Amino acid sequence: MTPGRIIFLNGTSSSGKSSIARELLDVLDEGVFFHLAVDAFNAMRSKRELGAAELDAALRRTRMGFHRAIAAMSEVGKDVVVDHVLSEPWRLFDCLTVLRPEDVLFVGIHCLPDELARRELARGDRPPGLAAQQYELVHSHGDYDLECDTSTLSARECALRIKEFLPHRPRPTAFTRLSRRYLTDGESA
């Protein structure tokens, strides 16, 4: 069975990942893509109050499960658009461990800090300062197949750029280069 393609969108909160993922499902007309969002996985959890340590452990395992769900969908031939925030090094390392690197198109979603703060205030459903706190962390590995800046492009325009790029993605992929750096050569983040 041919593995499904994985379009992996990584950026801070409010950078526009979910908006791009929705547009991608609309514009990608070859194959059937599924949008897998880390937020949606977190929202599946029962709402029982947890202590700080228990919550941390639950969130970590939820993310590990999320990474494996992406791998499982791709393994059974489903194409996926992933919407994630790689704000801790282990999240990227875990993805590098469980996903087939050649199947991943790794897309950095950027947005200027002032615009992120404006969006956070306007949407009102994210704590102020969340995006700023993640800003330096999410792109620290510094390698992508493609990057989009939503300060200047609409979600639709980003989706169209990704669609156009998908058949021409370079080999080795960014995930392959990152696997070599972090898993084979043992570089730390």
Footprint of ligand ATP on residues 72-91 (CB under 6 A)? 83, 85
Residue 86 Cβ vs ligand ATP, minimum distance, rounded to whole Å:
12
Residue 183 Cβ vs ligand ATP, minimum distance, rounded to whole Å:
26
Has 62 been labeled as part of a binding site? Answer: no
Instruction: Please state, as a whole number, how many other Cβ atoms lie within 10 Å of the Cβ of residue 173.
Output: 21
For every residue of 23-53, which 3-state class applies, written as one string?
HHHHHCCCCCEEEEEHHHHHHCCCCCCCCHH
User: The dihedral of CA 32, 163, 158, 155: what is its sign?
Assistant: negative
- Is residue 39 annotated as a catalytic residue, yes or no? yes
Residue 24 Cβ vs ligand ATP, minimum distance, rounded to whole Å:
12
Paired tokens of 88: 């801790």
Binding mask 151-170 for ligand ATP (x = CB under 6 A): --xxx---------------
Paired tokens of 154: 């609409």
Tell me the three state secondary structure of residue 176: helix
Catalytic residue among 26, 29, 39, 145: 39
Has 16 been labeled as part of a binding site? Answer: yes
Residue 150 found at the interface with ligand ATP (CB under 6 A): yes
Has 176 been labeled as part of a binding site? Answer: no
Instruction: Determine the Cα–Cα distance for residues 105 and 89; give it in Å rounded to an integer.
Output: 19
Catalytic positions are 39
Interface ranges with ligand ATP (CB under 6 A): 11, 13-19, 39, 83, 85, 119, 123, 126, 150, 153-155
Q: Which residues are annotated as a binding site for ATP?
A: 11-18
